[in-house]
Amino acid sequence: MRSTIPPLNALRTFDAAGQTGSFKQAAAMLNVTPSAVSHQIKFLEDHLGVLLFARSARGNELSLAGKAFHAHVRAAFREIEQGLDTLKRQTRPDELTIQTYSTIAVRWLMPRIAAFQKLYPQLVIRLVTAQHDVDFTDDACDVALVIGKPAGARLDAAYLFTPRLYPVCTPQLAATLGSLDDLARQTILQVYPSKHDWWIWLNRHGVTTVNPDAGLRFDSYDHALRMAARGHGVALAMQPYTSEDFAAGVLVRPFPDHDVRPDFGWFVVSPQTRADHPQVRAFRKWVISQVEDDPKLAPLREG
């Protein structure tokens, strides 16, 4: 086998065919004809002296050697794509992409982000919400607000605060709750991506009569809290989700002396490769100051 690297166009065609498992689909991906794909694959096989695809009446499938080689080619193109994205970010320091969960975005970050924008009017800020934890491997995000310190040596994480968990409901419903066991008579509003939170609170107080898995389930705290404010059950909350609801009187804590400190905290996280970018440093400093200046959140930084 020759040691010289094949032409990039042949490798790009091979990568597309390997990803799609079809010369026809690869042609559509590359905006060329299927015969052009076939020609490039044949050229690459001749160049390497290895059969990369097994041809049959059913189509073209990667051979064992082809599968092994494609893993390396795909990884190489992924590195190139990430490098291009990094280059783009370095040449466009006026962009900042922030990701967090929808509830913290709607109930805390969005009312404040305009103040950050005023401090840095040159920045183009993109706020992305998701129910799942951020995946920095695709380079789509610069910085994120997350629950729990992410594992990984290549991430920069700064601690923000540790929340408290507590049930909330309407004042009318709270008036019917004399003890913790009375929750068994109510509809429990659960956030299924964070289903362990209710169990943490119940177990900490030794409540065995309530099964939160039997209640209504929602994909975000925001939805569960909105349902609770409409009187449809009891939701679990944490700071700073309920500040406006408490101020408006639509939600109260029926058991104000039964807050629970969980084992997780909030962090502002970014990849180490971007942690020192000016816009990331600026946002990290700003969001920490927002917590430190909040009289309800600042004490939670001390655990």
| pTM score, whole prediction | 0.68
| Mean pLDDT confidence for 262-284 | 93
CATH numeric code, 92-162+264-302? 3.40.190.10
Listed in sequence order, the DSSP H helices in the chain are 8-20, 23-30, 34-48, 64-91, 102-104, 110-119, 171-174, 196-204, 221-229, 243-248, 278-292
CATH topology identical between 92-162+264-302 and 165-248: yes
Look at residue 90 and tell me whether its pLDDT is greater than 70: no
How many CA atoms does the CB half-sphere of 6 hold within 13 Å?
21
Q: Give long-range contacts, CB 8 A cutoff, 24+ apart: 25-29.
A: none
Task: Return the domain boundaries, the chain.
Answer: 8-89, 92-162+264-302, 165-248
CATH classification number, 8-89, choose in 2.40.10.10, 2.60.120.650, 1.10.10.10, 1.25.40.10: 1.10.10.10
Asked, as a colleague might, if the bond just before 121 is cis with ω within 30 of 0, I would say no
Phi, psi for residue 124 in degrees, rounded to 5: -100, 110
Contact 167, 201 (CB under 8 A): yes
| Mean pLDDT confidence for 171-199 | 95
Contact 229, 170 (CB under 8 A): yes
Contacts of 63 (CB under 8 A, 6+ apart): 51, 52, 53, 54
Q: Is 158 left (phi over 0), alpha (psi -120 to 50) or beta?
A: beta
| Mean pLDDT confidence for 176-189 | 96
Beta-carbon neighbour count of residue 138 at 10 Å? 11
Fold of the domain spanning 165-248: D-Maltodextrin-Binding Protein; domain 2 (3.40.190)
The per-residue pLDDT for range 152-167, each reduced to its tens digit, is: 668 899 999 999 999 9
| Mean pLDDT confidence for 28-47 | 92
